């Protein structure tokens, strides 16, 4: 049985110059993790290598944001997203992620590359209630698929209310 990590509410922050780098294969399994990733996630390199990147998914991170991320990457486009990650010890850390698909010589996606930096605090504080609302929407449905669909629609609606596309919304926070 897999070890379930419970959030402690303790937050760790990336340093101003810290850069988390990871690479995954097409299925999202970690193929590379730099030392900053290892330090922040509090897993060993051996624990991370081959593990699904979702290993560090925090339960307060809306699944609909990851749907948008995967849809964007499948369209061979980069994406920026604010993400709260869950470390092995239950602590968490926020990042501004920049994720890109890795293409082979024929233009086929063969994996993904992610750089994550320390975000400014103000966008995080603006996103927390939005993420809470999205997670609540996901949880109030009879099944995960319906919850994901409903929260995704809600997220799209929030962004449309701002009169911008997703990228502009994220960068305007």
Cα(55)–Cα(41) distance, rounded to whole angstroms?
Answer: 9
SS3 98: strand
What integer pLDDT is reported at residue 1 of this predicted model? 43
pLDDT of amino acid 2: 58
> Tell me, what's the pLDDT at 109?
97
Q: Is residue 72 within 8 Å of residue 41, measured between CB atoms?
A: no
Q: What is the dihedral of CA 173, 138, 99, 125, to 10 degrees?
A: 30
Q: Could you tell me the sign of the dihedral formed by the alpha carbons of 137, 127, 152, 20, in that order? A: negative
The dotted CATH code for 20-172 is 3.30.450.20
For residue 132, what are its two tokens?
A: 């809470």
Distance between CA 51 and CA 112 in Å, rounded? Answer: 14
Burial 148-159 (b: 16+ CB within 10 A, else e): bbbbbebbeeeb
What is the distance between the alpha carbons of residues 144 and 129, in angstroms, rounded to a whole number? 21
Three-state SS at 32: strand
CA 17, 19, 25: angle at the middle one, nearest 5?
175
Going from N- to C-terminal start, the domains of the chain cover 20-172
What's the CA gap between 115 and 22, in Å, rounded?
A: 7
Low-confidence ranges of the chain (pLDDT < 50): 1
Angle CA(4)–CA(8)–CA(97) in degrees, nearest 5?
A: 80
pTM of the model: 0.94
Answer positive or negative: Cα dihedral of 41, 46, 49, 51: negative
């Amino acid at each position: 049985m897999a070890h379930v990590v419970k959030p402690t509410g303790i937050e760790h922050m990336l340093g101003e110059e810290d850069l988390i780098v990871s690479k995954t294969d097409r299925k999202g399994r970690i193929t590379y993790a730099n030392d900053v990733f290892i330090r922040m996630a509090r897993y060993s390199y051996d624990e991370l290598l081959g593990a699904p990147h979702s290993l560090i998914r925090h339960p307060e991170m809306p699944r609909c944001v990851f749907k948008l991320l995967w849809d964007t990457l499948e369209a061979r486009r980069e994406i920026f997203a604010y993400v709260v990650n869950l470390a092995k010890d239950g602590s968490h850390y926020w990042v501004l992620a920049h994720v890109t698909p890795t293409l082979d010589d024929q233009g086929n996606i063969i994996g993904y590359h992610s750089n994550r930096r320390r975000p400014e605090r103000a966008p995080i504080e603006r996103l927390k209630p939005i993420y809470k609302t999205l997670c609540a929407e996901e949880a109030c449905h009879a099944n995960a698929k319906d919850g994901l669909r409903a929260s995704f629609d809600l997220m799209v609606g929030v962004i449309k209310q701002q009169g911008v596309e997703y990228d502009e919304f994220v960068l305007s926070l």
